[in-house]
């Protein structure tokens, strides 16, 4: 009868910790890629739109199409925010898992406790103010609020032009859109969704 192989618990924990560390790194990398893709997409489409605005004599004839494009950009911004939030939550969940492994080792080897800065009680919150994740989200929220206001501008232009009250609506769309987009982002930051 073959000898039963008993796995070394330390090796299993090392492998688990390594896997978790890789998921933390990947979540950070993916957040950067998602934000970059959004910024390049918005920049390219806005440049194309501005180029066509200057080449057309009758802006009203294309205003509805521009309004639709800016709505699409706003939806892309909302989807980007959802991705950024879920990736931040994934990072947080992985960091919590790493802390669980640390706590296990600390409970068995008290002398290593001072080696760890982040523990379950000191892990930064998912929505840490001024973190890179929140600053990226703030950029996307800002740009998406602008694209939403631009969509309204072109929609109003389609129906005859932008008068004084129209400018008030457009200006109000910036903070209102930003408020709703920020709420959208924060609702998706919850761990274990």
Name 59's Cβ contacts closer than 8 Å, sequence gap at least 6: 53, 157
The pLDDT-based confidence of 179 (bands split at 50, 70, 90) is very high
Name 48's Cβ contacts closer than 8 Å, sequence gap at least 6: none
- Decide if 170 is inside a domain: yes
- Decide if 131 is inside a domain: yes
74: how many CB neighbours lie within 10 A of its CB? 22
The pLDDT-based confidence of 191 (bands split at 50, 70, 90) is low
- Decide if 192 is inside a domain: no
Backbone phi, psi, residue 15, to 5°? -65, -40
Structural domain for 163, as ranges: 9-53+61-187
Structure token digits, residue 160: 């005859």
97 vs 186 pLDDT, higher one: 186
- Decide if 193 is inside a domain: no
- Decide if 79 is inside a domain: yes
How far apart CA 9 and CA 147 sit, in angstroms, is 54
For the chain, what percent of residues have pLDDT higher than 90?
Answer: 30
The one-character DSSP state at 127 is T
**Mean pLDDT of the 104-117 span:** 80
The one-character DSSP state at 129 is T
Backbone phi, psi, residue 116, to 5°? -110, 120
Instruction: Supply the mean pLDDT for the chain.
Output: 84
- Decide if 2 is inside a domain: no
- Decide if 136 is inside a domain: yes
Write the CA distances from 105 to 20, 115, 173, integer angstroms: 16, 11, 52
- Decide if 1 is inside a domain: no
Domains contained in the chain, number: 1
**Mean pLDDT of the 94-107 span:** 83
Specify the pLDDT at position 184.
95
């Amino acid at each position: 009868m073959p000898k039963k192989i008993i796995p070394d618990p330390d090796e299993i924990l090392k492998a688990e910790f390594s896997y978790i560390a890789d998921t933390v790194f990947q979540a950070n990398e993916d957040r950067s890629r998602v934000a970059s893709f959004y910024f390049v997409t918005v920049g390219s489409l806005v440049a194309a739109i501005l180029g066509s605005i200057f080449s057309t004599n009758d802006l009203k004839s294309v205003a509805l199409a521009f309004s639709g494009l800016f709505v699409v950009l706003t939806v892309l911004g909302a989807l980007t925010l959802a991705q950024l939030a879920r990736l931040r939550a994934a990072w947080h969940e992985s960091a919590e898992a790493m802390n669980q492994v640390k706590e296990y080792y600390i409970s068995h080897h008290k002398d290593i406790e001072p080696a760890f800065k982040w523990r379950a009680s000191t892990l930064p919150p998912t929505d840490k103010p001024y973190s890179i994740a929140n600053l990226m989200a703030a950029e996307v929220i800002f740009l998406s609020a602008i694209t939403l206001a631009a969509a309204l501008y072109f929609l109003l232009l389609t129906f005859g032009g932008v008068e004084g009250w129209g400018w008030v609506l457009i200006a109000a769309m910036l903070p209102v859109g930003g408020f709703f987009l920020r709420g959208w982002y924060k609702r998706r930051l919850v761990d274990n969704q």
